Amino acid sequence: MPVEPSYEEIRERLYGPLRDVFSWDWIEGLEYGLAGIHYITPSFRQEIKLATEALGSIYAKTVFAVQSAEDPLLLELGIPKELLPAVRVLVKPEIVTVMGRFDFMQTAEGIKMIEFNADTPTSVVEAFFVNAQACRFFGAESPNQGTEGQIGEAFTRIVKTYKELGYATDSIVFSALSWHKEDRDTVKYLMDQSGLKAKFVALEDLRIFEDRLCALLDDRFVPIDVWYRLHALEKLVEDYDENDKYPTGAHVLDLVARGKLAIINPPSAFVAQTKALQSLIWNLHEAGEFYTPEEHAWVENYMLPTYMENRFLNKEPFVTKPIFGREGGAVSLFDKDGRVAEKDKDDFYWDQPMIYQKRLEMEEIESNTVSGPYRGRLLWGSFLVGGRASAISARIGERITGNLSCFLPIGVKTSKEEKSKCI
Amino acid sequence: MNKSSKMVTLFLSTALVISSAGCGTKQQVVYDQNGNPITVEDDDDDDGYFGRYLAPFGFSKRHSSGAGVVRSPGVSSGSSSSAQNSVNSNSGSTKPVGGSSSTGGTGISSGSHGGIGGGGSSAS
């Protein structure tokens, strides 16, 4: 009688062959990629697509206006003053980011967007590549069919736009930290999918030389025209040469501001990245300003009440988040009386300004893991690529989705109710 | 005034005006009746770069040099027309970034400088 394969065996059969592309199914000895599949309905898939495109257009419209505003607004939004000239550079206003990811949660009040990773999103390989492989492995229908092709279209279009704007576009470089395999291999995957004639050059091998950003290749400085960076602008602004204290990052941003360097994601993506923008959008919505009636409905349906001050105390539970936090860093959950229900334990981002957001409970599901069954909260990532809704992915973790949350493949399955609706 | 309200006020009073892009392109932002932004560029060279115009959000509109700023319906806070000139192409973007300038006003020091990639992973 054949023996059922163990979870570990199934897991190895799934992820083993993918490690040339997806090498981080274990992260620091902890399981990251789960060997199971969570099914969604076609109607849920459709709704998350609609929400992504609706919010993409809301963000594009708002960011475009913000880019034209006077300095005090950008400073209130948390944009560092050193970045102000660079973030005003317009590239393609209707496309707020080439590659961004909205994070949604499914709640009793419907799907709600909780953050927009517009500048340096990851989970790209998981959504665009691994999920499809997992669907094939488990015999499931993929929710992301045809989305890989969107990456190439979006990158080609942004480079074409830069060229039309008068930028040089011959020398294209993709960069990430070479020692960080998730960052490095995510960027290499994106470069392969972009269809662009480009080189990967580690961030550590970039130099400022003769007023250009250059790749140091074989002891030569090769000037860069177009730079895809998995390096957040709020980090870049603080980069300096340790030897002579030269403000290298500030110089790179000056090149961007002067139109001497094209960056992907474009500067608008950084404006969209600050969570303070969620507060601006929500407050414009509450004031009945700026948006069309249809757009107000999108904000009401898919966003959460968000403010720069605490308006929830003694009324309803709330969340605080730093405006440029990542991976759940410095996020705290509070009950309505202000008692801490849960708090991130890491030391990063606590010094940043916070947003206050209505707290709703996330959907809870169970999945197998190497440690046995695990009940966790589900967070949905939905990519916005070149202004269009694209691949989705799921992570399962604690109430605060941190960097220890796990990737869980998803498939599409039509429910009996939906089948009967189709008939 | 709390911070949220201040942001809304700043947005409504300064954001819905003119903008500019890099590369010296003369661009202007106008708004259609639904409040959607349209970027238009000077039409002095229809065949070249300056004759091109962008039409985001599906709106296409030929620009005449006298095109004004159209305010979005429903926007009630006042916007100063003088703010239209508050952002100029390439303005404020050539300030020195280093102390040891060797090429005039750009503040570029000789030699090469590294150090990009601080602050750890940017994964999000």
Pick the closest to residue A144 from A354, A341, A420, A410 (CA basis). A410
By Cβ distance, the residue of A101, A166, A209 closest to B112 is: A209
Respond yes or no on whether ipTM tops 0.90.
yes
Q: Do A258 and B90 touch (CB under 8 A)?
A: yes
Kindly report the pTM of this predicted structure.
Answer: 0.84
pLDDT band at B110 (very low <50, low <70, confident <90, very high): low
Pick the closest to residue B5 from A143, A194, A73 (CA basis). A73
The whole-number pLDDT of residue A326 equals 87
Mean pLDDT of chain B: 50
pLDDT band at B102 (very low <50, low <70, confident <90, very high): very low
Residues of A in contact with B6 (CB under 8 A): 76
Mean pLDDT of chain A: 96
Any idea which of A87-91, A217-221, A261-265, A417-421 has the lowest mean pLDDT?
Answer: A417-421
pLDDT band at A420 (very low <50, low <70, confident <90, very high): low
Q: How far is B63 from chain A (nearest CA, A)?
A: 17
Better-scored residue on pLDDT, B101 or A214? A214
Q: How far is B44 from chain A (nearest CA, A)?
A: 15
* Amino acid letter for position A363: E
The whole-number pLDDT of residue A416 equals 72
3-state secondary structure of A280: helix
The whole-number pLDDT of residue B94 equals 27
% of chain A exceeding 70 in pLDDT = 99
The pLDDT tens digits of the residues spanning A135-168 come to 999 999 999 999 999 999 999 999 999 999 999 9
What CA–CA distance (Å, rounded) separates A394 from A387?
A: 21
Over range B68-82, report the average pLDDT: 31
pLDDT band at A346 (very low <50, low <70, confident <90, very high): confident
pLDDT of B64 > 90? The answer is no
Measured CA angle at B60 (ends A88, A53), to 5 deg: 65
CA dihedral (A115, A101, A130, A4) in degrees, to 10, reads 20
The pLDDT tens digits of the residues spanning A227-260 come to 999 999 999 999 999 999 999 999 999 999 999 9
Interface size A-B, in CB pairs within 8 Å, comes to: 247
Please enumerate in sequence order all residues whose Cβ is within 8 A of that of A58, keeping only pairs 6 or more positions apart, or say none.
A281, A291, A295, A298, A299
